[in-house]
Chain A
Amino acid sequence: MSEQGSSLSQKEQSGKGGFVKTRAGEEANKLIASSYDLGWEHARAGKPVAWVMYGPPREIMQNFDVLDIYPESYCANCAIKKETEPYISYAEEEGFSENICGYLRQTMGYARSLMRGESTEKAAFGGMPKPTMLLSASRICDPRTKVFETLRRYLEIPAFIYDHQIPPTEDPRCIDEKTAEHYIEHNLEGFKGLVKFLEDQTGRKLDRERLSEMVRNSIEAWHLFYECFELRKKRPCPMGWEDHMVIWRPFRDIAGEKSTVQFYRDLLAELRERVKQGISVAQPEEKYRLLWLGLPMWFDTDLLNYLESQGAVVVADSMFHTYKPHDIDTSDPLRALAEKEYWSWDIYGRTDGSQPRAGLITGSHILDMVREYHVDGVISHTVISCRATSIGNKHMSRVLREDYGIPVLNVESHMSNLNAYSPTETRERADTFINLLEARK
């Protein structure tokens, strides 16, 4: 991909006859798909495989040759492919209600199949390899704290979860060094606990040199990712949200690798070129810039193409962010990692005392995005089975509409229950919303 540099295809340059996706988006999709194959290879070789809820840094797990598989990420991909069954139904048969996180219901159903020795070959992407351990951190939402306790009913394997706290972003305290230290110190202790657990499980010792290298790579990738992110502020926006949902994944799922650094270097070059050439993802031109609040509708990403065909581009979202890079001393790699997590992720994750990326309550951070990304309207997505990303969206919609006069389209769905969602109805509502935006021009 790097050799392809800045040359754009005819189709991309013309912006006609299709939606102008980035090459990096395609590349990221390939990387993600191949990561499942790698997982199976790793598992077949008898090496340790961890099912991980986002939190434990990949840089540490890799140090112990523990392959990290992210069930929530896998389940989102299954939702995109509309292949979440039969596993969700299995979990419901066990008594887990539809109010429980869709990712986790699917994961539990899948784990039940593994426990029963059923074939998972027909699962999307060939399924997830059977784990040898479960790893999580308490940040982001309550289910992350609970799910591995419950998964152990099916998979009686060692589990480790550490406490990870996130600062109150809208509180000025969070950028105060003393407060930052209070959080970083605590989260660093969690990482140390993870290292100890992995040492016990694998019989290996932490290789600090390798960790240092991966942390340096991660920090470099963060700088590049942030620059890519910033370019989406440009008019026209050089990359749509469908691509953005995919291109952020290497930052977490393949963190610490040289290839990830290269991936973002290439993406940045591509986006710069697109900005230079004024290429829009919307057809025939970018007319409305949208902000998306909440989780994506994984099973209806085509909605974004539909919006783009009406000239509406989702230029920013409340989920897949990173914060402005911060100078970090990498002489102590574990501490550097804790600092990187804090300044790249945690600090951005919480709003006014809330959990990560969710409950965008007083929303100065959202209002900042509205201003900086020149947003014309907001789509607010309430997910019936996800409290963390939904509580507060109604309030935020009200603030945006009433206090700032920004139009908001509220949509609702289950995370993975495709039967409970009507694409036709959503498009009809999107049409009305676009008419409203048009009337305001």
Chain B
Amino acid sequence: MTDLATKHQTSTITGLKEAGWKVFGYYCCYVPVEILTAAHIIPYRITGDLTEQITEADNVLEKVMCPWVRNSFDQALKGKYSFLDGIIVPHVCDAVQRMYALWKYYVKLPFIHQFDVPHIFSASSFNFLAKELTIFKNSLEEFIGHKITDEELGKAIDLHNENRRLVRELYTLRKPQPPLISGVEVLNLLKTGMGLPVTEFNRLLEDAINDVKNRPAPAAKNQPRLMVSGCVIDNDQFFSVVEDSGAQVVMDDLPLGTRSFWFQVEKGPDLMASLSRAYLEGIRCPRTVEGTRTEPYKEEMADRWGYLINYAKDFKVDGVILNLLRFCDCHEYDFIDLKGYLQDSGFPAMVIDDDYTPSSILRVKTRVEAFVETLQEKA
């Protein structure tokens, strides 16, 4: 079951490099991968490795910061990302933003760029981000030695829109009970695809969707259906623990999940403006907020988190796991009220406080099992 990605993956990063591809790493959801695709560069999503103990990064980074960012930087210091030709660091949160200068100082790739991402939804923010993306594109053009035409960018937008549509189609396979595809399989497909040229990612998704549709339906089970929301999960151990405990991960609100794929880019006359609006407005990360709040707090919560209720209803979710990585301010401020809001809306929720270490998965296991047990009892 877990080898769906491997089964349909046709290229490896080594093979692609040998074939002449340039590969750029990027942090988080806010980098418009269309710009890299248009430059004929593979966008490679930076991840951590939960099986790896942090060693090298301890000499450079404080422990009082996002453990996932520390882990991913540890991978870089250990040479795991030596195949990269460049790195893009959007200013999304305090921890990720610091990676720009650290990669510049210690990893020294041929290309590095940081751009600012506004925290507030506003017309000015959309304009500002469009200009930031134009500066990024100009800088990239200087590196590759030629201009990226609107035609190339438009084509890349089409390919990534198709990519996001395919991911959403993949997710629909999780709607039946039991789901036709596991959370582990989905995560591995996305993680694999986010290191491939988009055309190959799309092919991978098409093949996987066809495969799943044509394989024998799983035996009917009445397992609790869970949604996982919050900080990044990029290793399959977390979902394995959930699914081994007798539940199914059927939906998510995660960076390597819906947050990266639940929007489309509407092409207008100014493609940078199109990308800016789509990414800033389309990504539901708590680091971006509404500027004015005058409504009662209950209504504010519905405005901020109503989309999760829609997800939960659409995917017939029985409970929600809120994944909090230690020191993540953007999520921690939200989680107390978010948990209450979900529960008041009829969806039992639990918060898992995780420190992204190899041993943490045991703690996660104990807590998830207890949560699943209560859901099973309720059912």
Contacts and interface: CB of A to CB of B under 8 A. Distances in A.
Given A165-B116, A168-B114, A150 B105 contact: no
Interface in A358-402: 358-359, 361-362, 382-385, 387-388, 390-395, 398-399
A82 to B, nearest CB: 23
A199 to B, nearest CB: 13
Contact of B327 (A99, A146, A148, A399): A99
A5 interface: no
A72 interface: no
Specify which of A145, A159, A168 lies most central, judged by the most chain B CB atoms within 10 Å of its CB: A145
Contacts of B116: 165
Given A147-B333, A152-B293, A189-B122, A395 B94 contact: no
A243 interface: no
Interface string B289-314: 10111101100100010000000000
A278 interface: no
Given A161-B289, A186-B127, A382-B64, A391 B114 contact: no
Interface in B31-63: 59-62
B131 interface: yes
A138 interface: yes
Nearest to A179: B135
A142 B329 CA distance: 7
A390 B62 contact: yes
Contacts of A149: 289, 293, 300, 304, 333-334
B93 A142 contact: yes
B211 interface: no
B91 A353 contact: yes
Nearest to A143: B329
Interface string B328-360: 011011101100000000000000010000000
Given A143-B333, A152-B293, A394-B61, A186 B128 contact: yes
Given A161-B289, A163-B119, A387-B95, A186 B124 contact: yes
Interface stretch (A6-14, A89-97, A419-427): A89-97
A408 to B, nearest CB: 14
Interface in B77-93: 89, 91, 93
A326 B339 CA distance: 49
A153 B304 CA distance: 13
B59 A398 contact: yes
Nearest to A361: B101
A163 B326 contact: no
A160 interface: yes
A400 to B, nearest CB: 13
A361 B127 CA distance: 28
A208 interface: no
B357 to A, nearest CB: 16
B297 A156 contact: yes
B60 A394 contact: yes
Interface residues of A, number: 58
B334 A355 contact: no
A58 to B, nearest CB: 19
A120 to B, nearest CB: 21
Contacts of B105: 361-362, 395, 399
A404 B83 CA distance: 31
B247 to A, nearest CB: 25
Contacts of B315: none
A96 B333 CA distance: 8
Given A352-B101, A353-B97, A391-B65, A146 B329 contact: yes
A182 interface: yes
B144 interface: no
Contacts, number: 170
B336 A94 contact: yes
Contacts of A159: 292-294
A138 B98 contact: no
A269 interface: no
A168 B115 CA distance: 9
Contact of B100 (A145, A354, A358, A394): A354
A31 interface: no
A190 interface: yes
A62 to B, nearest CB: 21
A162 interface: yes
Nearest to A359: B98
B333 A361 contact: no
A390 to B, nearest CB: 5
B282 interface: no
Interface in B118-156: 118-120, 122-125, 127-128, 131
Contacts of A382: 62, 64
B213 interface: no
Contacts of A362: 101, 104-105
A163 B128 contact: yes
B102 interface: yes
Contacts of B62: 382, 390-394
B336 A146 contact: no
A303 interface: no
A394 B57 CA distance: 10
Given A100-B333, A168-B114, A193-B291, A361 B98 contact: yes
Nearest to B329: A142
Contacts of B293: 148-149, 152, 158-160
Contacts of A351: 101
A384 B64 contact: yes
A146 B330 contact: yes
Contacts of B64: 99, 382-385, 387, 390-391
B287 interface: yes
Task: Give the interface centre of B95, B101, B116, B289 by most chain A CB atoms within 10 Å.
Answer: B101
A160 B101 contact: no
A240 B346 CA distance: 58
B90 to A, nearest CB: 10
27 contacts: A97-B353, A142-B93, A142-B287, A145-B119, A145-B120, A145-B289, A146-B286, A146-B330, A150-B336, A158-B293, A161-B119, A163-B120, A163-B124, A163-B291, A165-B118, A189-B124, A190-B124, A352-B104, A353-B100, A355-B94, A359-B97, A361-B100, A361-B105, A362-B104, A391-B64, A391-B94, A394-B59
Interface of A: 94-97, 99-101, 138, 141-143, 145-150, 152-153, 156, 158-163, 165, 168, 182, 185-186, 189-190, 193, 197, 351-355, 358-359, 361-362, 382-385, 387-388, 390-395, 398-399
Interface of B: 59-62, 64-66, 89, 91, 93-95, 97-98, 100-102, 104-105, 114, 116, 118-120, 122-125, 127-128, 131, 286-287, 289, 291-294, 296-297, 300, 304, 326-327, 329-330, 332-334, 336-337, 353
Given A355-B91, A382-B64, A385-B64, 4 more contacts: A149-B304, A161-B120, A186-B125, A388-B94
3 interchain residue pairs of minimum CB distance: A361-B101, A189-B124, A138-B119
